[in-house]
Structure 1
Amino acid sequence: MAAREATLHPLAAREATSTRPRAEEADPIRLVYQVDRDRVIHTRAFRRLKHKTQVFVHPDSDHVVTRMTHTIEVQQVARTIARALNLNEDLTEAIGFAHDLGHTPFGHAGEEQLAALLPEGFRHNEQSLRIVDLLEGGGHGLNLTDQTREGILKHSKTRDSVASEAWGVASTLEGQIVKLADSIAYLNHDIQDAIRAELIAESQLPDAAHLVLGRVHSERIATLVTDCVLASAETFKGPQPHICLSGEVLAATDVLREFMFERVYLHPEVLKEAKRGQQVVEVLFRHYEAHPDRIPGWSLPDDPSWRRAADYVSGMTDGYALWQAHSLGLIR
């Protein structure tokens, strides 16, 4: 196993520099970041992603992206970049598979609703970390490496730019890769979903997107991934190596991202469906905050009722949340 890591780029994350919150014996056949990845994939939280909304609530098409398929696409893009740069693919995979475990039902709409209800707010990246640190493993967490945990926390961005640093910059290049791969994946698959939903047409995308990134899905993905590899490799030659896009491609990507906010994410039809999801999240949260004794035993019993309710409701799939709300007589 040591021989395998010896072939990586000098800047790649390695087992020798990895740390865990709690010391444990080394696995006899797997490197530490392989262990992290496998632990994430076998969680209940990971399985539930297949029935959680990405953007479109209650889609009529089986081809609409879910939180699970988004996660798989992020991991694929991230691993491609990591391999091209000869960085640690195992760490990239572990972060990629875990980054969205904390997403609520009904996508970012559910997240925004819980953020408005909780005393400390709610952010899905922080909830993802809470899941792997506490909620999985019977309240003991997964004991993932600190490098994976940091990548999970720092993958989020603000609306300003795909390069924004809302929660800081991951100390590993692999963590930085996942942050950018997240944007590459969601921008492109959300375009496909929006076209299927007839909210936009390919021809309506900004000129910058067409001229710089490409005119079809595959061209845009290829441009972004290739540009990331080439631009990042250039920084490896200097004193501050980091993962990035070139200036021209970053500018075009941000133009495309703003277009998606204006024409898709904030579209009246999308917001209408999102509002229904938010109502479900709110009534369930208020119900379980008032009746914490009805929360299943996997939540942490010593936490305040609002925290336990948030953990339970945020972990629900879209369908389960709707079923719960109907069964409890909270919605009609």
Structure 2
Amino acid sequence: MAVDPRDPRLAPFRAPLEAHEGALSPFAARESTSAGRERSEPPDPLRMAYQLDRDRIIHTRAFRRLKHKTQVFVHPDSDHVVTRMTHTIEVQQVARTIARALNLNEDLTEAIGWGHDLGHTPFGHAGEETLAQLIPEGFRHNEQSLRIVERLENDGRGLNLTAETREGILKHSKTRESVAAEAWGVADTLEGQIVKLADSIAYLNHDIQDAVRAGLLAEATLPRVVHQVLGTTHSARIDTLVTDCVLASTATFETDRPAIRLGAEVLEATDTLREFLFQRVYLDESTLREARRGQEVVEALYEYYVAHPDRIAGWSLADDPPWRRAADYVSGMTDGYAVRRAQALGFVAGFAMTERA
């Protein structure tokens, strides 16, 4: 028998949680000042609002599928290449470290971190670019992440997350210009801003490791300014970026515009590293060659399900137009499931890829 959340025996457990939030920085997000949920809910006796958001995200089907989705390298058979799931774990770890150091709300950073990439397609950004070209309204993974938590999960009811978590998920993306580029705007909460930067800290560093393993780079080939400013090892670079973020952000807390940021020198070196990875990894012909095979699968499946919406097996809303249903269904697939569906429908004869150690 379920316990009534109003059971007076539960009352003592709530007070310490509220006291903990009350002791956070004056710049921290709090349940007491939250813009709330689309559908009002009574307070949970054992969890604050952002803890509840986090738990709801972790228990979704979309979250579980991240372990079989590409980060950069399209290769489902390697045990060592970063997946969308391991990337997400690293993002929330970096975000929580920064949030704790700044005495901000770790629960909110964790919720946003777990949910920020739920909307990624199979085959990483290659699949995203394909759907963006095919879909009438375009396609962006951050917008799809928001759609998942607002509409697709729970058979169309969504997760009913707080406004702060939903905003952080939407606004985590940035443009190629800079890790500080605004793109979809700046999150109102510092916790949302943390996740946006933590996303870059995580992927820039683990993508170096994957690229070295793939034979596209060697540590010695990284730009000199990256070694001089950020460090010569994976751990040193992450430590530099996290520490610099804490120091640079703390300095803004004494102004009328507190923000999460990097110092000028570290930001310049980070953007140099990002552009270097675009040229040497993300746009490298061997990377693109594998990605194009994934794009062919995504395009074939999308066009098939637009023409045959009656064959969409879940993960879409029946009242939506065929293009929207196909976009939701195909973007939600894992790499392996997309390949198997394409093979079953006769679109690809095989999908063997060069093994990466």
- AA partner of residue 19 (structure 2): A
Shift of 1:298: 3.8
State the SS of the aligned residue for 2:164: helix
- Structure 2 CA distance, aligned partners of 1:294 and 1:166? 36
- AA partner of residue 124 (structure 2): G
- Structure 1 CA distance, aligned partners of 2:71 and 2:19? 40
- AA partner of residue 121 (structure 1): G
Q: 1:7 aligns with which of 20, 23, 40?
A: 23
Gaps of 5+ in 1: none
Asked whether the equivalents of residues 314 and 329 of structure 2 are also in contact (C-alpha less than 8 Å), the reply is: no
Q: Partner of 1:137 in structure 2?
A: 154
- Structure 1 CA distance, aligned partners of 2:104 and 2:273? 28
- Structure 1 CA distance, aligned partners of 2:261 and 2:73? 29
Q: 2:68 aligns with which of 51, 60, 67?
A: 51
- Structure 1 CA distance, aligned partners of 2:315 and 2:304? 18
Question: Counterparts in 2 of 1:248-267, with a 5 A limit?
Answer: 248-267=265-284
List structure 1 runs of 4+ shifted beyond 2 angstroms.
Answer: none
Q: Deviations over 1:140-173 (max 9, x none)?
A: 0000000000000000000000000000000000
Q: 2:296 aligns with which of 279, 283, 287?
A: 279
- Structure 2 CA distance, aligned partners of 1:9 and 1:25? 25
- Structure 1 CA distance, aligned partners of 2:125 and 2:315? 24
Gaps of 5+ in 2: 1-16, 350-357
Q: 1:39 aligns with which of 45, 53, 56?
A: 56
Asked whether the equivalents of residues 309 and 325 of structure 2 are also in contact (C-alpha less than 8 Å), the reply is: yes
Question: Counterparts in 2 of 1:106-145, with a 5 A limit?
Answer: 106-145=123-162
Q: Partner of 2:12 in structure 1?
A: none
Shift of 1:61: 3.0
Q: 1:237 aligns with which of 254, 257, 260?
A: 254
Q: Deviations over 1:219-251 (max 9, x none)?
A: 000000000000000000101000000000000
Asked whether the equivalents of residues 179 and 271 of structure 2 are also in contact (C-alpha less than 8 Å), the reply is: yes
Distance 1:59 1:316, change over 3 A: closer
- Structure 1 CA distance, aligned partners of 2:62 and 2:315? 12
Q: Deviations over 1:93-141 (max 9, x none)?
A: 0000000000000000000000000000000000000000000011100
Q: Deviations over 1:13-72 (max 9, x none)?
A: 001111111101111110000000000000000000000000000155311100000000
State the SS of the aligned residue for 2:225: helix
- Structure 2 CA distance, aligned partners of 1:239 and 1:13? 17
Asked whether the equivalents of residues 68 and 76 of structure 2 are also in contact (C-alpha less than 8 Å), the reply is: no
Q: Partner of 2:222 in structure 1?
A: 205
- AA partner of residue 174 (structure 2): K
Distance 1:60 1:201, change over 3 A: farther
- AA partner of residue 50 (structure 1): K
Q: Partner of 1:223 in structure 2?
A: 240
Q: 2:338 aligns with which of 310, 321, 324?
A: 321
- AA partner of residue 159 (structure 1): R
Asked whether the equivalents of residues 139 and 298 of structure 1 are also in contact (C-alpha less than 8 Å), the reply is: no
- Structure 1 CA distance, aligned partners of 2:88 and 2:315? 24
Q: 2:42 aligns with which of 25, 43, 46?
A: 25
TM-score after normalising by structure 2: 0.92
- Structure 2 CA distance, aligned partners of 1:154 and 1:227? 22
Aligned length: 332
- Structure 2 CA distance, aligned partners of 1:245 and 1:144? 29
TM-score after normalising by structure 1: 0.99
Larger Rg: 2
Q: CA RMSD in A?
A: 0.7
Question: Percent identity at matched positions?
Answer: 75
- AA partner of residue 12 (structure 1): A
